[in-house]
């Protein structure tokens, strides 16, 4: 956080020397500016706002969100924004200090975790083998978008914010919301049908597990190597043994890993059990190739539908 404090000092001095540098960069003709910390917020915003806004994703493609630190340009873009979207959890803990430092110049902000009912992080059977969690404080899980049911709640509040900022565009935003909600409902139904038609209700991740809301909403049991925001990269031998035993005992056919994973743990589990490895995308961020290829929250989640169908078969 030393970097952030130095950055704030720099920006305060810059504002005193050159107030015009902090002025809005977009004219009325160019539309509103929306700045987002993570891919789901970015994708939701560009879908609803369309060509009425310039939408920027702060997190560079392919980067790890939990280690991201904003640049001076990022902070200026946040201050100039008409709307700032962020998750509201451990991965962007720097946000509150930045917004507070801006005072009355802070942009309107929408925190995704404020849009839904939060769930506490929990540990699966194999995670319990890693550490003694008895004295740890309860943390609320920030990965709210991983459930399409939550995505529908988030985009509804995003639409309301857009309509307040640019009421002249409200009919267009509401039409976009209706169309998007229909697509999200179809995705939700596909997950429901996949779970209902599955032979099992257990999913196993040889990786972090940022899918607390997903598992909760679709009534799935799960086991994994680490919690969603864990900084760990190497599980203990006890954790690996526990996961192997679970996969064998329940005849789990698929070991999941998440995007940008080293896949070390998933590789070990697959080798020990003969299970297949598949990607289950959390949508937290995308690669440059995915972004250039037109990846969206919906396209990534539909790929997850197919992966889940194979895992529950």
Distance of alpha carbon 25 from alpha carbon 21, whole angstroms: 9
For residue 236, give both structure tokens: 């203990």
The pLDDT tens digits of the residues spanning 173-228 come to 999 999 999 999 999 999 999 999 999 999 999 999 999 999 999 999 999 998 76
Please tell me the CATH code under which domain 197-311 is placed.
Answer: 3.40.50.1980
2-132+142-184 and 197-311 have identical folds: yes
Q: Right CATH number for 2-132+142-184 from 2.40.50.140, 3.40.1390.10, 3.40.50.920, 3.40.50.1980?
A: 3.40.50.1980
Q: Angle at Cα 28 formed by Cα 23 and Cα 34, nearest 5°? A: 70
Instruction: Give the domain ranges of the chain.
Output: 2-132+142-184, 197-311
- CA-to-CA separations, 84 to 80, 104, 193, 292, in angstroms, rounded: 9, 14, 35, 23
The pLDDT tens digits of the residues spanning 161-183 come to 999 999 999 999 999 999 999 99
């Amino acid at each position: 956080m030393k970097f952030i404090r130095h950055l704030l000092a720099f920006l305060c001095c810059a504002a005193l020397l050159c107030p015009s540098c902090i002025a809005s960069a977009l004219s009325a003709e160019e539309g509103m500016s929306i700045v987002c910390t993570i891919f789901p917020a970015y994708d939701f915003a560009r879908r609803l706002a369309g060509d009425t806004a310039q939408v920027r994703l702060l997190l560079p493609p392919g980067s790890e969100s939990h280690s991201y630190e904003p640049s001076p340009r990022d902070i200026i873009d946040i201050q100039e924004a008409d709307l700032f979207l962020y998750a509201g959890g451990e991965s962007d803990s720097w946000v509150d200090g930045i917004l507070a430092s801006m005072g009355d110049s802070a942009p309107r902000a929408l925190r995704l975790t404020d849009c839904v009912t939060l769930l506490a992080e929990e540990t699966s059977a194999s995670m319990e083998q890693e550490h003694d969690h008895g004295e740890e404080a309860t943390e609320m899980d920030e990965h709210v978008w991983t459930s399409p049911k939550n995505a529908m709640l988030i985009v509804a509040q995003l639409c309301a914010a857009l309509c307040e900022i640019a009421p002249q565009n409200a009919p267009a935003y509401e039409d976009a919301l209706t169309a998007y909600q229909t697509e999200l409902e179809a995705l939700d139904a596909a997950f429901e049908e996949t779970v209902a038609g599955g032979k099992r209700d257990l999913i196993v991740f040889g990786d972090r597990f940022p899918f607390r809301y997903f598992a909760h909403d679709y009534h799935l049991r799960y086991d994994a190597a680490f919690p969603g925001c864990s900084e760990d990269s190497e599980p203990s031998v006890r954790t690996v043994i526990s996961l192997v035993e679970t996969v064998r005992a329940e005849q789990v056919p698929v070991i999941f890993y998440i995007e940008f994973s080293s896949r070390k743990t998933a590789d070990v589990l697959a080798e020990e059990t003969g299970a297949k490895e598949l990607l289950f995308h959390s949508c937290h961020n995308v690669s440059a190739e995915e972004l250039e290829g037109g990846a969206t929250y919906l396209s990534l989640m539909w790929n997850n539908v197919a992966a889940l169908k194979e895992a529950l078969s």
